[in-house]
């Protein structure tokens, strides 16, 4: 199995909850690992489009693509719903719910493209300026850092 990443060198930071995004990306990669075997690949891509308005612009886009077994249509249809099911022996479908919740918390969008026998790509976009909750968390963190600096 080959693991690769394609991240633009000039990528700018986006306002987001790092823990939520870590969990989302972790779950996407973990799911891809379960669909892949010898001779397959998983590629993680990230890019930022600053111009325009979300969702067609002003976004951070992350995609995890694999060349694994692909996903049946009935699984794709339910993937980001409360009816999501896992095709893994011990899976619960919770991983994709974590992804959807993280993306929703940032006011983003997530989608899946898959072809049986060829692989799956799951992509999400979140606004670069963050959701109101992410903006508030950043504002509070900046206030705390400023206050801590004054106390030193």
Give the mean pLDDT per block of 10 residues along the chain (152 residues): 91 82 94 92 93 89 95 88 65 76 90 95 90 67 75 68
**What H or E segment, with its residue span, contains residue 28?**
helix 18-35
Rounded Cα gap, residues 96 and 138, in angstroms = 26
CA terminus-to-terminus distance, the chain: 50
Split into its structural domains, the chain has a count of: 1
Phi/psi at 9 (nearest 5 deg)?
-65, -30
Q: What is the pLDDT of residue 15?
A: 78
Instruction: Give the structural domain span for 126.
Output: 2-151
Q: What is the pLDDT of residue 16?
A: 83
Q: What is the pTM of this model?
A: 0.81
User: At 117, which CATH number?
Assistant: 3.30.565.10
């Amino acid at each position: 199995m080959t693991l690769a990443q394609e991240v633009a060198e000039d990528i700018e930071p986006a306002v987001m909850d790092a823990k939520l995004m870590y969990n989302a990306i972790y779950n996407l990669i973990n799911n891809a690992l379960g669909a892949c075997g010898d001779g397959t690949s998983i590629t993680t891509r990230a890019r930022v489009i600053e111009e325009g308005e979300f969702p067609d612009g002003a976004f951070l886009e992350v995609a995890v693509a694999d060349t694994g077994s692909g996903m049946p249509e009935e699984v794709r249809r339910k993937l980001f719903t409360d009816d999501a099911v896992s095709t893994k022996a011990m899976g619960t479908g919770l991983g994709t719910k974590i992804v959807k919740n993280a993306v929703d918390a940032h006011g983003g969008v997530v989608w899946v493209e898959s072809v049986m026998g060829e692989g799956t790509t799951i992509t999400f976009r979140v606004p670069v300026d963050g959701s109101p909750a992410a903006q508030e968390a950043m504002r509070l963190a900046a206030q705390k850092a400023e206050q801590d600096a004054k106390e030193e």
